[in-house]
Amino acid sequence: MTTAPPKKTWLARFVLLAALWGSSFLFMRMGAQEFGALPTAGLRVAIAALFLLPLLLVRSLGPQLVQHWKKILFIGVFNSALPFACFSFALLSISTGLSAILNATVPLFGALVAWAWLKDRPSGSRIVGLVLGFVGVALLAWDKASFKPDAAGLSSGWAVLACLLACLSYGISASYTKRYLGGLPSLVTATGSQLGATLALALPTWWLWPQHTPSGSAWLALLALGVLCTGLAYILFFWLIENVGPARSLTVTFVVPVFALIYGAVFLHETVSGWTLLCAAIIVCGTALSANLIRLRR
């Protein structure tokens, strides 16, 4: 019987995880501006895989990775390769804060996919949350999304859709993991998924590698993105799941946009409108309801 860690211990790791994931949008933007969207995603997962693989081998978990390699590599496509590429593309034309707010809809898509695929029908409160969350997304997109291309040929409308596609991809991978990889050590799934994502993005990364030499700051951003925001963040997240439970760990999704907004304002001088904050509050409330973290009283 394991003893629950002190509140200060898990709370410090919780805040650190939110800070790391919040900074990932800043680092993705810095990397994508010089490397491009797909090379940024490809380097991120490759660095994360190199960071996690030795930890996997030290814990003698290699045989389990080999045993389930097909399913784990498949997870890598939907849990890392596709969403990382989508967010890197989106950050070329929208702010880090907006992308982080849209990322908070992951539990909404997770609930929808689980409903359609696993027949996990949500309760009345969760259905209200789904509707409320997507209303918030629609209001935010109505204000921010435009399909008119800018000088670089990009548009915020496609960027918003790319973020939502990434969230849907996360939802698919969550249901797939629950159905086919239940009980497998988290480090095995994390490491294998990064290896799978690296394989999936290897050819696009090589094909779209920038002709100019990226700056040192861009390389440092990708190094931080791979080691801190992916490798270390996975370790923290799975530690929280094991020690304080998945429901409490999931609430980190709501704190991530706070850090992303702060980083964007401080380092990129991004501004945040009152409308954006209102839509973010609607999305967070809807997501909390859909994830069953709060319930409506009857």
- Asked if 288 and 54 touch (Cβ cutoff 8 Å), the reply is no
Please work out, in degrees rounded to the nearest 5, the angle formed at the alpha carbon of residue 126 by the alpha carbons of 122 and 129. Answer: 145
- What is the tens place of the pLDDT at every residue in 163-207? 999 999 988 988 888 888 877 888 898 899 999 999 999 999 999
Range of the domain at 199: 12-290
Q: Into how many domains does the chain fold? A: 1
Could you tell me the sign of the dihedral formed by the alpha carbons of 293, 290, 259, 219, in that order?
positive
Task: Tell me which residue of 96, 22, 11, 27 sits closest to 259, measured CA to CA.
Answer: 22
**pTM of this structure:** 0.88
> Is 3 inside any structural domain?
no
Residue 52 corresponds to which amino acid?
L
Residue 216 token pair: 């040192």
17 CB-side CA count, 13 A:
23
Q: How far apart are CA 280 and CA 284, in angstroms?
A: 6
- Asked if 105 and 284 touch (Cβ cutoff 8 Å), the reply is no
> Is 146 inside any structural domain?
yes
Token pair 């990009």 in the structure block, residue: 154
> Is 239 inside any structural domain?
yes
Residue 66 token pair: 């080999």
Above 90 in pLDDT, residue 62?
yes
- Asked if 140 and 283 touch (Cβ cutoff 8 Å), the reply is yes
Task: Tell me which residue of 279, 271, 288, 233 sits closest to 101, measured CA to CA.
Answer: 279
- What is the tens place of the pLDDT at every residue in 203-248? 999 999 999 999 999 999 999 999 999 999 988 887 887 777 665 6
> Is 98 inside any structural domain?
yes
Q: How far apart are CA 75 and CA 179, in angstroms?
A: 12
> Is 1 inside any structural domain?
no
- What is the tens place of the pLDDT at every residue in 28-56? 999 999 999 999 999 999 999 999 999 99
> Is 132 inside any structural domain?
yes
> Is 25 inside any structural domain?
yes
- What is the tens place of the pLDDT at every residue in 84-120? 999 999 999 999 999 999 998 888 888 888 888 878 7
